[in-house]
Amino acid sequence: MTDTAVAHPSGAPNYQALMARRLTWLFGGVVLLVISSIADILIGPAFLNVGDVVMALFSPDSAAPMVRIIVHDIRLPMTLMAVLVGMSLGVAGVHMQTILNNPLASPYTLGFSAAAGFGAAIAILTGITLPFLPIMTVPVAAFLMSSFAAFLVYGFARMRAMSPEVMVLAGIATLFLFQSLQSMVQYLASPEVLQAIVFWLFGSLLKASWTNVPIVAGIFVICILALLPNIWQLTALRLGDERAAAIGVNVRNLRAKVFIIVALLTAGAVAFVGTIGFIGLVAPHIARILVGEDQRILLPMAAITGALTMTLASILSKIITPGGVIPIGIVTAVIGVPFLFTLIIYGHRRHW
Amino acid sequence: MLEIRNLNVAYKATTVLQDISITLEPRQITALIGCNGSGKSTMLKAIAGLLPMSGQIRLAGQVLTQETAHQNITYMPQETSATSSLTVLEVVLLGRLGSLGMIVPKQLVNEAYQALDEFGLSSLHARTLDAISGGQRQLVYLAQAMFRNPHVLLLDEPTAALDLRHQLLVLETMQRFAVETNGVVVVAMHDLTLAAQFSDQMIGLNNGFVQACGIPEHVMTSDNLREMYKIEAEVNRTMLGHLQVTPLSATH
């Protein structure tokens, strides 16, 4: 080692090695996601053989019409929806935890999904339909109610300088409010309607279609584009409010903006598939353990771990009962918990 | 030169700082002393443009706006426990938030690494913030502050969590910064003996007022300490000529 090397230590190679390691995790995640997505398309209650499915995917015209319809109009939208909802909830979760400075936060902490459930339940109970798009009635009701809950929490938080404590408190109050309203609707509903409401609340990918997949994708893309300019500021926020402010972050405005984005991501995801729990809590932690807190990597990694958990849960939901599909919302935790526990036990890095 | 004129800060109806006018010279270290709640942290934050305030702050003759305050002044908050798993190098890099894009230039990484090396911390670069000691964390934050290349450095109890050697490291860095960069340094401290030893000027705050301001000998008197801290204390000179405070009793 030369004298100059001692006087001017070079950090770049070390840093590049660290970033390379993180990018490897990210790349590995993408590969796993592609594999699990393909597996998800191949597996289903119709027991199609692999060759037929592949043919239906790549040359739809030469496939049997029934196979084509199953693969193209049922399985493909379901898989895409699983990926999109997983990505949305993963990203929403990681930023909810960042802005609330709370490892237990998730997109559900603040009552957005309980409100979506209430909106859906009201729409199912009353049976009202939208004039031109009757099929969109329940998602629109869920989306609107979820946005209303977000607006409520936002209003309270804004009055108190967007303090995380007030946000959590107002959010949990909102959560309980909408849960009890939801229960009230369920209590008042007839058995058939109750069944429809409960099915919605379980969360299911069976509602995925070529109409709603692009909407969820659109919301996701818009939200990500809106987050990108603030990516380093979000990283800085993990130093604590005071230190972030001291290096030039407008903490209050950042928190308000990201809150709105998280609300939108969550509302978009749950409106079409119902309440799918746990992904938004666990995916960010898995991502953080693997790649650290630099949001340039953490954001895509949280999206990928969310999507991976969703697709694996989707596969599981199809193989538990041969010939049937269990609502995915029921099995997400079954996939997520062992994953997280393994990382906590074997991970060397402290996290949160 | 940093000139503060008629600085007032109020939280809702409570006045925290009242009509503070002081002048801080470059290359000089100003120690801010006073009991808990006397307004030391508030004053530092107000100067850094982090609090709503009234009055005027001029740096080298230019009136500071919130934006120019952020560019020129670096405020280092008190040490707190960390829950973040950001790495030490990332923390330093964040000091130049404005220069960070989707790709971080090599040059910037090397400079951040060098800033760590100044404190002998480069071996910790890959450790996470929650996995190092409070004292090491404080030095990492100081490295971040220096990495910002400020004209004015405001430190809030930078020596609080540190052992004696690390206290000296911090204070010597502060001195070097003042001399080498022609910088203004204001440091809030509880250790009065150390404060007197390392400062050129002292400001004693009492309930948001300036109780005394001037060279350490004039500020650190038994009378002033009684007023500011409600204690009886003896102020002596050591054989090497340093001021030394011996607290005797708390008055009621």
- pLDDT tens for A206-220 read 889 999 999 999 999
Phi, psi of B19 (to 5 degrees): 50, 60
CATH label of the domain that carries residue A326:
1.10.3470.10
A288/B131 Cβ within 8 A: no
pLDDT tens for A46-88 read 878 888 888 888 888 888 888 888 888 899 999 999 999 999 9
According to the model, what pLDDT value does residue B44 have? Answer: 95
Cβ-based neighbours of B192, under 8 Å, separated by 6 or more: B33, B220, B225, B245
Domain assignment present for A141: yes
Q: Which residues of A touch B112 (CB under 8 A)?
A: 11
pLDDT tens for B66-88 read 888 888 999 999 877 777 889 99
A12/B94 Cβ within 8 A: no
Give all strands (DSSP E) within chain B, no chain letters: 2-11, 14-24, 29-33, 54-59, 62-63, 73-76, 152-156, 184-188, 201-206, 209-214, 231-237, 243-250
According to the model, what pLDDT value does residue A7 have? Answer: 40
Whole-number Å distance between alpha carbons of A26 and A7: 35
Residue closest to A249 by CA, chosen among B94, B82, B238:
B94
According to the model, what pLDDT value does residue A10 have? Answer: 66
pLDDT tens for B142-194 read 999 999 999 999 999 999 878 898 899 899 999 999 999 999 999 999 999 99
Lowest mean pLDDT among A110-124, A154-168, B13-27, B201-215: A154-168
Shortest CA gap B164–chain A (Å):
25
Q: Which residues of B touch A10 (CB under 8 A)?
A: 110, 113
- Three-class SS of A120-159: HHHHHHHCCCCCCCHHHHHHHHHHHHHHHHHHHHHHHHHH
Domain assignment present for A40: no
Q: Are A108 and A114 in contact (CB under 8 A)?
A: yes
What is the percent of chain B with per-residue pLDDT over 90, rounded to a whole number?
70
Q: Which residues of B make CB contacts under 8 Å with A?
A: 48, 50, 70, 74-77, 80, 82-87, 89-91, 94-95, 97-98, 100, 102, 104, 106, 109-110, 112-114, 116-117, 122, 125-126, 128-131, 141, 144, 148
Domain assignment present for A238: yes
A18/B113 Cβ within 8 A: no
Kindly state the average pLDDT of the residues A144-154: 91
Q: Are B212 and B34 in contact (CB under 8 A)?
A: no
Helices B134-147 & B164-181 angle (0-180, nearest 10): 10
Shortest CA gap B38–chain A (Å):
19
According to the model, what pLDDT value does residue B251 have? Answer: 84
Q: Which residues of B touch A238 (CB under 8 A)?
A: 84, 86
What is the DSSP secondary structure assignment for residue B128, as one 8-state letter? B
According to the model, what pLDDT value does residue B43 have? Answer: 95
Cβ-based neighbours of A326, under 8 Å, separated by 6 or more: A317, A318, A320
pLDDT tens for A30-54 read 999 999 999 999 988 887 888 888 8
Kindly state the average pLDDT of the residues A202-208: 88
Nearest residue of chain B to residue A288 (CA atoms): B85
Q: Is residue A348 predicted with pLDDT exceeding 80?
A: no
Q: Which residues of A touch B141 (CB under 8 A)?
A: 243
Q: Which residues of B touch A240 (CB under 8 A)?
A: 77, 80, 82, 84
pLDDT tens for B96-112 read 998 999 999 999 999 99
Shortest CA gap A74–chain B (Å):
38
Q: Which residues of B touch A8 (CB under 8 A)?
A: 110, 114
Q: Is residue A352 predicted with pLDDT exceeding 60?
A: no
| pLDDT band at residue A134 under the 50/70/90 scheme | confident
Cβ-based neighbours of B238, under 8 Å, separated by 6 or more: B244
Nearest residue of chain A to residue B96 (CA atoms): A247
Q: Is residue A8 predicted with pLDDT exceeding 50?
A: no
A246/B113 Cβ within 8 A: no
Q: Is residue A182 predicted with pLDDT exceeding 70?
A: yes
Q: Is residue A4 predicted with pLDDT exceeding 80?
A: no
Mean pLDDT of chain B: 91
Whole-number Å distance between alpha carbons of B95 and B114: 13
pLDDT tens for B120-143 read 888 899 899 888 988 889 899 999
| pLDDT band at residue A1 under the 50/70/90 scheme | very low
Instruction: Give the nearest partner residue to A247 out of B87, B97, B131, using CB atoms.
Output: B97
Nearest residue of chain A to residue B132 (CA atoms): A350
Number of domains in chain B: 1
Q: Which residues of B touch A288 (CB under 8 A)?
A: 85
Q: Which domain holds residue A163?
A: 72-346
Q: Which domain holds residue B244?
A: 2-80+150-250
Instruction: Give the nearest partner residue to B95 out of A12, A247, A293, using CB atoms.
Output: A247
Q: Which residues of B touch A247 (CB under 8 A)?
A: 94-95, 97, 144, 148
Whole-number Å distance between alpha carbons of A148 and A129: 20
Domain assignment present for B116: no
B125/A350 Cβ within 8 A: no
Residue closest to B183 by CA, chosen among B22, B43, B1, B45:
B1
Domain assignment present for A47: no
CATH label of the domain that carries residue B170:
3.40.50.300
Encoded tokens for B160: 């609080």
Whole-number Å distance between alpha carbons of A305 and A299: 10
Domain assignment present for B114: no
pLDDT tens for B141-153 read 999 999 999 999 9
Encoded tokens for B200: 């050129």
Number of domains in chain A: 1
Instruction: Give the nearest partner residue to B91 out of A8, A239, A288, using CB atoms.
Output: A239
Give all strands (DSSP E) within B77-193, no chain letters: 152-156, 184-188
Domain assignment present for A53: no
Give the alpha-carbon dihedral of B226, B228, B229, B232, to 10 degrees. Answer: -10
